Amino acid sequence: MSLANSTMNDPQSDEHRNLVTIDDLTPEALGAILDGAATRKAAAPAERDRPLAGQTMAMLFEKPSTRTRVSFETGMTQLGGHAIFLGPEDIHLGHGEPIRDTARALSGYVDFIIARVFAHDDVLDLAEYASVPVINALTDDAHPCQTLADLLTIREQFGGFDASVAWVGDGNNVCQSFALGAAMTGLDLTIATPEGYGIDDDVRERAAALGEAPTETNDPAAAVEDADLVYTDVWVSMGQGDERGQRLDDFAGFQVTPSLVGDRPVMHCLPAHRGEEITDEALESETAIVWKQAENRLHAQNGLLAWLAE
């Protein structure tokens, strides 16, 4: 996987701002977004301002979603704006129309474009040719909006980022974005994956440049031993169905269970494959904070949208 970030990532430049990967943000911008998210979350609905009144978001979805679609559509309503959902039957990203044409046409209609697609390069192309902010709502390589919600949840749980997190499972798109977010905030991160399923070299290098690269191991128990929180995600993501049998074999021993976790909080970006990467008991335990994490997709993205509109 190639996890290149946007070229238009300087919040002080005259260009519009995008979020293609989490490190399109400076640490200062990330802090401002999380502060804004927390403030909006804490305010009574009647006290929240509506900075996106009269503005419209185009939502380009090649991949299905529950949390991403509902949180963005609800967020636009709460912020005073309007969202237009465009599913696979409504868009032609790179199929019948070049992405650059889609980007330029939509820029004449809407104020934001979000894209939940397979190829990371498609979002890079949208960001290059659009004249409005482009938000990566998930690609096969990155999921920066999930990382915003994860960081907001961890900050709420620990009162900041002085904490140790163990990621147990696949070094996938969620893991790679989280590794960069951890480096930006100073979280101590250990990633436990089977051999061959770790994060990409360029993500490791970028994390090191941002702060500190995560510790990596093939031993889940060792990763969790000194952790304050355990995070996992599915072993078989969308588009990997033909690898299912091999992956289930390779990830044997990496299941998040009550015996592995103990009394530590558990996070999962959802949807969960109960009985595979996590047991039902672990997901339903009193220490699991996955539902707070899921709700925080709404609040974190509201903070992002308000920041982009400044």
In the annotated binding site for L-ornithine, the residues are 173, 233, 237-238
Q: Find, among 288, 294, 307, 289, the residue nearest to 40 by Cα.
A: 307
297 is known as an active-site residue: yes
Binding-site residues for carbamoyl phosphate, in ranges, read: 65-68, 116, 143-146, 269-270, 297
Residues in the chain: 310
17 is known as an active-site residue: no
Catalytically annotated residue among 120, 143, 206, 264 = 143
Catalytically annotated residue among 140, 176, 233, 264 = 233
Catalytically annotated residue among 17, 204, 206, 297 = 297
120 is known as an active-site residue: no
Binding-site residues, in ranges, read: 65-68, 116, 143-146, 173, 233, 237-238, 269-270, 297
* Radius of gyration over every alpha carbon of the chain, rounded to an integer in angstroms: 19
Return all residues near 116 (Cβ < 8 A) that are at least 6 apart: 59, 60, 61, 62, 63, 65, 68, 137, 138, 139
- CA distance linking residue 182 with residue 184, whole number of Å: 5
Q: Find, among 181, 158, 210, the residue nearest to 269 by Cα.
A: 181
* Torsion angle defined by CA atoms of residues 257, 262, 268 and 274, in that order, rounded to the nearest 10 degrees: 20
233 is known as an active-site residue: yes
146 is known as an active-site residue: yes
Catalytically annotated residue among 140, 264, 269, 299 = 269
Catalytically annotated residue among 55, 146, 176, 301 = 146
104 is known as an active-site residue: no
User: In this structure, what DSSP letter does residue 93 have?
Assistant: B
Catalytically annotated residue among 17, 69, 116, 120 = 116
User: Catalytic positions, please?
Assistant: 116, 143, 146, 233, 269, 297
